[in-house]
Structure 1
Amino acid sequence: METVDVDLAGRSYPVWIGPGLIADSARWRAAIRGRHVLVVSNTTVAPLYLDALAKGLDGLHWSSYLIGDGEIHKTFANVERVLEALGEFGATRDACVIALGGGVVGDLAGFAAACWMRGIDFIQVPTTLLAMVDSSVGGKTGVNLPVGKNLAGAFHQPRAVVADIDVLTTLPQREYRAGLAEVVKGAAIGDPDFFAWLEAHADELAAREAAPLIEAIARKCRYKAGVVARDETEQGERALLNLGHTFGHALETAGNYSEILHGEGVAIGMVLAAHLSERLGMSPGGDTARLVALLQRLGLPTEPSKAHAASRLLELMRLDKKNTAGTLRLILWRGIGKAQIVSGVAEADVLAVLA
């Protein structure tokens, strides 16, 4: 097992990574301070893992609330239902929400926890690789709106993250590959040695071999934990973690959150960002080729669908949270491991890459 500590000013929490962790309730139950627990999960994950988690809640007053499976369920309507469930449950200020699921469940449950009585504890129990390496760590919570992804939310850190790799055995191949995109992203942003390690171990990771998988998750979480510790609320450096996201979120929104998975959007978005960086003379073409080759070895898409017009995607990109004063502010790079925030990017160059 690996442990990554997220150290913030006056606060810290562990990210436990390894097999058998859901059953190891002696480890994570100490993070529950009160006696009320609401487990938020979805209709796919709950039948698989809710009973195992519930064994660790013996003696507590707990209940569960399930949402549908998929990005389209990350809505204010479901946040309201979770809050109503907390109210009907009689949850007090020392209550705890446990998010048992992927990024959608974690984001939504964390947002509900941030709202209830202006903030109660929550624990992340991610069940997808993407959630383990990204959304469960760092305290970003939120929901989607029809005009854009994650436009409503709050920074609310969990008490602990329980990343049990045994749950990945039931994760569909497409979902697993989508999680690998976030692993690659961490290396592409700021760790060229990790990128080379991924190139050397791509086949083992694609085959879900446990030892390299645990190491990859831990390295990605350790990198992200360092960034979050230095910039918790994304005033500067943390924005670099969004390499590819402005493009990817536009693709997700254009497809009504049902055409591509978030990790697939990130993979395509990273490639588009690399092409744009190359077009602007910021980065060498060879690094773009290495990125494309690694993503393809891991079974990920690297080109956007032609179904959405470049002008429509640009319109959606204008709503990105990183933009300032009506100008595009994108995360680009100067090559592998050298991400950079770039303001005032010309829309003509973005359109050329999208087209």
Structure 2
Amino acid sequence: MNWLTAEHLALVFGGLTALSILLYAILDGYDLGVGITLPMGNEAWRDTAIASIGPFWDANETWLVLAVGLLLVAFPAAHSAILHALYLPTAMLLIGLILRGVAFDFRAKVKTQRKVYWDYTFKAGSLLATFSQGFMLGIYVMGLQYHTGSIIFACFSGLCVTAAYAMIGNAWLIGKTSGELQLHAIKHCKIAGVLTLSGILAVSLINPMVNANVLQVWTEPPLAYFFAAIPLLCFAMFVIGYLALKRLPLPKDAGAWLPFAICNVIFISSFIGLALSFYPFVVPNQMTLYQAASSRESLLIIFFGAVVVIPVIAAYTAVAYYAFRGKADGLKYY
């Protein structure tokens, strides 16, 4: 296995960590988005919305655990530097996820008149978790530095990431529900899409201004011509998605899953664009992927473990989505 050099292993684990983060952003992103836009004025709608994510939301968070685990074991120096700078928003993220988990279980066990309080808790936990993730992204883009400008940008990033999760969450509900709730999701998906596009445009403008490496990556030919296709694809998806939402719902629920598929393309292209912007740095302008990696021997041991674990996670995730395919029904507690 001469090809399993330290450099190749670092690149492999960089790719696996990035893939885990992307899958988390998409899969847990939509169920966080459902929590953000939970319709508080209609209990039946809330039951159906939560039923649509019930079989999946716990498993979706596995990808976050995997991403953090890979970062800790494969890139300990980067893990230390990043978590040192993001300790407080990470704590807020964990509090938000805990609130969601507690609320999800308690709403099923309390008296009917008190269920709404736990629904508000679920919504608050979702908002806290998504804003924290966006804040961390903003600080990361700003080079893990805290000053007035970076904090303002991080707060703006937090709002934009919240909007992006609301967009994909409503797109999920469009595919999983019907009737008035589906119309409600279509309306809010349009609004969240406009806010998300504004956030992506802002990050695209600010990122090259604060990171010289990013400006170089996106403007130096010949790769700049290839990379230009990524933002073009992303912005085209916003246009197509908005036009599709204006036509929904269609007879026999045709095209109901198109908005969710389009949101996936938007998330993937945005993530690839961000990853290419910073490569080979894993800590912006401070530490490359190869400098942060563990020793070859450590990476080799983890590699064989990952070959077994990651397919298992992917397999049970696929089985869950297949088993609970189709439209969601309202929750019934006995």
Asked if Structure 1 and Structure 2 have the same fold, meaning a TM-score greater than 0.5 normalized by the shorter chain, the answer is no
Which has the higher relative contact order, 1 or 2, with Cα contacts under 8 A spaced 6 or more apart?
2
Higher strand share: 1
Shorter-normalised TM range? under 0.3
Higher helix share: 2
Q: Give the TM-score of the pair, scaled to structure 2.
A: 0.27
Q: Give the TM-score of the pair, scaled to structure 1.
A: 0.26
Asked which structure has the greater CA Rg, the reply is: 2
